[in-house]
Structure formats: C-alpha cells, structure tokens
Amino acid sequence: MTTFRLATWNVNSIRSRLDRVLNWLDRADIDVLAIQETKCRDDQFPMERFDEAGYEVAHVGFNQWNGVAIASRVGLEDIELHFPGQPGFDKDAGASLLSAPVVEARALGATCGGVRVWSLYVPNGRALDDPHYTYKLEWLAALRDTGARWLAEDAEARIALVGDWNIAPTDDDVWSPEFFAGKTHVSQPERDAFAAMTEAGFSDVLRPFAPGPGVYTYWDYTQLRFPRKEGMRIDFILASPALATVTTDAAVDRDERKGKAPSDHAPVIAEFELP
C-alpha cells in the first residue's frame, strides 16, 4: 500500500504567498497540491521555486484573475487545461453561455501517482440575478455530465475533483444561514448542482472525519470573521468511488488562516491508502 496525501488550497495569489505555500508543503508532507486563484499568467508562475522543492507544476492562467495549478512530487502526466464541455463566459451573452468564446482558467487536470486530479475554481456567481450566476450553474452542470461519463467509462477510475467550489451545500456549512439568505453560495439551485455531483458518484471525503457545524474553509477578511469563527465551507475534495473507499483521513488546516498575510481560505487535506 502507498500513502497518498492530497490537498487543495485557494491561495489568493501564489506570488504573494509563495513562501507560505512552500513552507506548508514541507511541513504537511503533501504529495499533490491543487491550487486555485493563482492570479498570474503562466510566465509569471514561480516554477523554479517549486522545482527546487521537488514539485513538478502544471498551471493555466491568462491574467491577474482566476488561475489554477497542480503541484506534484509523485508525477504529473496527461495534463488537460480544461475539462471536456467546460463553458466559457461572456457577460453580454444571451440565453446560453455554453458557446461563449472565453474559456477561463478555472480547471486543470493531471494524473499524479495513479490518481486523476482536477484543480477546480468554480465561478463565484456574484449575485442571483447576475449572468455570472447562470454561468456558474451551467459550468457545474457540464462538470457533472463530464464526471458521470468518466465513471461510466471506468468505474474503477481514481478521480479527485478538488478546489474552491463556491458553494456551501448545507446550512451546517455556513456560520449563519440567516445572514446568507438570498445570496449566492447557498441558493437551492447551487446546492442542487453540488448534490448532483454526489449523485453522479463523487463523495465529499472530509465529512466522515469532520462532521457537524463549525467546520469551515473560508473566512472573509472583513468584520473579524476569522477570530469570530464566522466562516463557510466551500472548498472540497470530491472522490470517485474507487478513491473514496481508500480514504484514511481528512482535515482542514485552520492554522494556515492565521498569521501574517494569510489567504482567506485554508487548505483541505485528504489521505488515501492506494494499492
């Protein structure tokens, strides 16, 4: 058996938090890290520093927005810059965004140590009446269809869909359901879209190890949200059946939200015992 440690972290600018990320990778003994919100172009990503730390990196980023990466010390193969059917976004699009010309830097796949890892930065949605909300729902529907097809083609595939999903799937995943009423991240269509991923066969591997309310991965910088424990759980590791059944541990490293200039997200870690 081989122990495989996978993590996901919205770092909110890799260049601003490079030392913090590299130090954490060493301390936490992570094999593969999926990164979101790198906020840089490919030529700006600090590849050399990761290489010095023993990690290969795949990255897709077009400008100062979005950006996703995978850093692996157990191999990095079959890199895909977008998942099949990934919608683009055009704020001036009509009824459908599926044919919009701009496919954003929000999804990156690679095979690492026998596990197919997808680093995902799901669209925020912005507001319930914003075109970005429609885009978010279509993006999630496309991911669900693609994920279901992967599992239909190979029921034993080890797939991890990980990242910042920008959805709190239950009331336990927010500090105050009343505060978030009428806003994105908690609307029923978004929660239904997340539930559709589990119905397609992907499991939230954290919950069995961290049940109940108060388990969060994101705290807004404003209003002292972190010290007041007013957070949301919006970062997830969703595993295919063949991977979920070999999960041995999972946790949120809340300490990484502390200290000087942290990201507003904390890493989520899962450990698997692979045959």
> Residues 217, 233: contact at Cβ < 8 Å?
yes
Residues in the chain: 275
Residue 102 pLDDT: 79
Residue 69 pLDDT: 98
Binding-site positions for Mg(2+):
10, 37, 164, 166, 264-265
Residue 93 pLDDT: 60
Is residue 217 classed as helix, strand or coil in its secondary structure?
A: coil
**Residue bearing tokens 């609307």:** 187
Q: 121 an active-site residue? A: yes
Residue 80 pLDDT: 98
Residue 98 pLDDT: 55
Each residue's pLDDT, cut to its tens digit, for the chain (275 residues) gives: 999 999 999 999 999 999 999 999 999 999 999 999 999 999 999 999 999 999 999 999 999 989 999 999 999 999 999 999 999 987 666 545 555 667 999 999 999 999 999 999 999 999 999 989 999 999 999 999 999 999 999 999 999 999 999 999 999 999 999 999 999 999 999 999 999 999 999 999 999 999 999 999 999 999 999 999 999 999 999 999 999 999 999 999 999 999 999 999 999 999 999 99
Residue 99 pLDDT: 58
Is residue 52 classed as helix, strand or coil in its secondary structure?
A: helix
Catalytic residue among 31, 133, 164, 204: 164
Between the alpha carbon of residue 182 and those of residues 127, 172, 187, the distances in Å are 9, 17, 7
| Whole-number Å distance between alpha carbons of 241 and 198 | 10
| Whole-number Å distance between alpha carbons of 265 and 275 | 32
Catalytic residue among 55, 121, 135, 218: 121
Residue 101 pLDDT: 67
The structural domains of the chain, with segments of one domain joined by +, span 2-92+102-274
- Pairing type for strands 2-10 and 32-36 reads parallel
Catalytic residue among 204, 216, 218, 265: 265
Q: Which CATH architecture has domain 2-92+102-274?
A: 4-Layer Sandwich (3.60)
pTM of the model: 0.96
Binding-site positions:
10, 37, 164, 166, 264-265
Residues 6+ away with beta carbon under 8 Å from 75 = 56, 111, 112, 113
Residue 90 pLDDT: 77
